[in-house]
Amino acid sequence: MKKVKRALAMAGVVVLAGMYGITLIAAVMATPVAKDFFKASLLATLMVPILIYVYLLVYRLITGKGQEKEEGPEKKR
């Protein structure tokens, strides 16, 4: 599972870097659609990390992973 998470994280980095590159290229282009490319890329650059965070949060809530297990009073120290 650790290798899968690492691979997905690397894919996310590549996707975000690509979106940053597209945003930069669209910002300096002088074509009529450059403004639309820039807006779409900027929106995707903001929304992709937010959606990934929400997905991970919902996954943790559904599966119960990442929560501390309750201990009895005799085990706490």
pLDDT (tens digit per residue) in 21-62: 877 887 787 788 878 887 887 888 888 888 878 887 888 888
pLDDT at 9: 80
Burial of 9 (0-12, 13-18, 19+ CB in 10 A): exposed
Which is more confident, 68 or 54? 54
Confidence of residue 68 (pLDDT cuts 50, 70, 90): low
Placement of tokens 């807006």 in the chain: 39
What CA–CA distance (Å, rounded) separates 18 from 53?
A: 19
Q: What is the DSSP letter of 31?
A: S
Tokens of residue 56, six digits = 């991970």
